[in-house]
A = this chain, B = another copy of it.
């Protein structure tokens, strides 16, 4: 996948288009949606349940961005009621591992982070 144009891509440069991609894949909801879709296909309402706390608006918006960038595939089945299914694309599947790593990191380091936070708070308060 590393073609000629990729050699000049550097997310540390302000104008670099990879910044926009990084914004999406690092995004709060994208991480969770990719994780929720990791086990396979899911309907809109299923995602709404699996990713607790996401609003319909943000789910629609994030799924649209992900579809636009080729991370998920949206399939509409003309049933009653209408069925809209989302699946990770080939590219999207390559993201599951890196993003799951972030999830794992958050869980594994939670207690350490929490300890650091309370220590920090007491340091600035005292």
Contacts and interface: CB of A to CB of B under 8 A. Distances in A.
> Looking at chain A, what size class is its interface with the partner chain?
35 or more
Contacts of A70: 112-113, 115-117
A106 interface: yes
Contact of A114 (B17, B108, B113): B17
B51 A12 contact: yes
A76 B91 CA distance: 44
A68 B17 CA distance: 30
Interface string A25-44: 11110011001100000000
Contacts of A9: 106-107, 110
Given A69-B117, A113-B70, A106 B11 contact: yes
A112 B105 CA distance: 28
